Amino acid sequence: MGLLTAAVFRCIMFICPICRTQLNIQNKAYCCENNHSFDIAKQGYVNLLPVNKKHSDNPGDSKEMVIARRKFLESGNYDCFAEKLCEIISSVFANSQKLSIADCGCGEGYYDGKLKNINCDFDLYGFDISKEAVRYASGKYKKYHFAVGSCFQMPLKDNSFDLVLNIFAPMVESEMKRILKKDGIMIYAVPGKNHLMGLKNLLYENVYENAEKHTEYDGFEFVSKNSVKSEITLNGEMGVNLFKMTPYYFKTQLGAEEKIRQNNGFTTEIHFDFLVYKKI
């Protein structure tokens, strides 16, 4: 798909982060009726992150973290989760011919790339607060549509999507509900209670189970909970890659990375719960 064709198609779903009106393509930039303009990067994505949502010049995952995440995920360690996600989507939308999908907090696009295995055609719009992650996603998955954007002010049109994905991203239920069509589906992936327990045991003296997420959100009907558990063994370098893609990377004292790197290897449980909802 050429840049102009892709951009024209994207403007159907993307909206201006300043005035929330429709975006249209003009000279390789997105422009709204109020003359707000956003350049299209050479990789094909657009930065639609509101200025008031930027806590730094480069919010979200750094280049180093994105590279670590890419190496870990492409190693296949989380393939069981991607396979379950595709299975759920294929089951829920068994009779659908074409879907519109939004991935809220898409990262570098690993799960989006795996959606080629679902049983129907789809258009996908992914966004993330990390420009580095979106740059990688847009460069690798060229048939999808990516933007830098915030889960708290999604750069997407109202009532436009059949399916919204949230995989470990902030849950902003009002925004999820806003962009979903009536009877649309939300899939929310959260960590199971013992997810990465082996990594935590390596890092901390006092280790706690992950708190289970509640299943009630305003405007949604809870449909099902789908759990996936497995066990992986990681050497020092792959363990560091995992560490860099977790919240522990920001919260753990100095020396933790080297401690993992020098370890002979550790085994940990991995556990996702996919919570499925329908907009009511």
* Domain boundaries of the chain, sorted by first residue: 51-279
Q: Per-residue confidence at 215, pLDDT binned at 50, 70, 90?
A: confident
What's the pTM?
A: 0.91
156-174 average pLDDT score: 96
pLDDT value for 12: 67
According to DSSP, residue 253 is labeled: P
218-247 average pLDDT score: 95
| C-alpha torsion sign, points 40, 41, 45, 51 | negative
Write phi, then psi, for 65 (nearest 5 degrees): -70, -40
Q: In the sheet where 37-39 sits, what is the strand order? A: 23-25, 29-32, 37-39
Inform me whether the pLDDT recorded for 88 exceeds 50: yes
230-252 average pLDDT score: 92
pLDDT value for 59: 87
Least confident of 174-178, 200-204, 268-272: 200-204
CATH code matching the domain that covers 51-279, chosen among 3.30.420.590, 3.40.50.150, 3.40.50.620, 3.40.50.300: 3.40.50.150
Using one digit for the tens of pLDDT, what is the confidence trace for 94-117?
988 899 999 999 999 999 999 999
Task: Indicate the residue type of 263.
Answer: N
| 201 CB-near residues (< 8 Å, 6+ apart) | 207, 266
pLDDT value for 52: 62
How far apart CA 178 and CA 141 sit, in angstroms, is: 26
106 alpha-carbon distance from chain centroid? 2
Inform me whether the pLDDT recorded for 25 exceeds 50: yes
Inform me whether the pLDDT recorded for 6 exceeds 50: no
How far apart CA 82 and CA 89 sit, in angstroms, is: 11
pLDDT value for 200: 95
Question: Is residue 50 within 8 Å of residue 129, measured between CB atoms?
Answer: no
Inform me whether the pLDDT recorded for 7 exceeds 80: no
Torsional class of 68: left (φ above 0), alpha (ψ -120 to 50), beta (otherwise): alpha
Using one digit for the tens of pLDDT, what is the confidence trace for 49-78?
987 654 566 788 999 999 999 999 999 999
